[in-house]
Amino acid sequence: MSNTAMTIIAITTAKPGKEATLGTAQEKLVAETLAEDGCLRYELHQSLDDGRVRIFVETWASEDQWRAHMHGAAMQRFQASGVGDYFADFSLHRLTKVAG
């Protein structure tokens, strides 16, 4: 695992009619995650083109800390709430900065 900062882009699409329920759970996840060790940035953005699409933009101090988040209490609560059934699509991209 790397100890350099990494950025995550997670693109979520809600099933039709599930936007509000999924959105509420995602916003709660953001509030809880911001307090986690190693979380430098954890933002949730709404697409202006498709109301079902929300995008997480995250920066973690290290990959280890991101992995700890993925197995941590906030993520476990999020997954246990059943919101996984509200996703029509999901993609996650782990990124490292190359310029700028």
What is the Cα–Cα distance from 94 to 82, expressed in whole angstroms?
A: 25
Res. 79: pLDDT tops 60: yes
Instruction: Tell me if residue 68 falls in helix, strand or coil.
Output: helix
pLDDT at 17: 97
Confidence of residue 3 (pLDDT cuts 50, 70, 90): confident
Q: Does the domain formed by 6-95 have CATH 1.10.760.10?
A: no
Average pLDDT in the 74-84 region? 95
Task: Give tens-digit pLDDT for 15-69.
Answer: 999 999 999 999 999 999 999 999 999 999 999 999 999 999 999 999 999 999 9
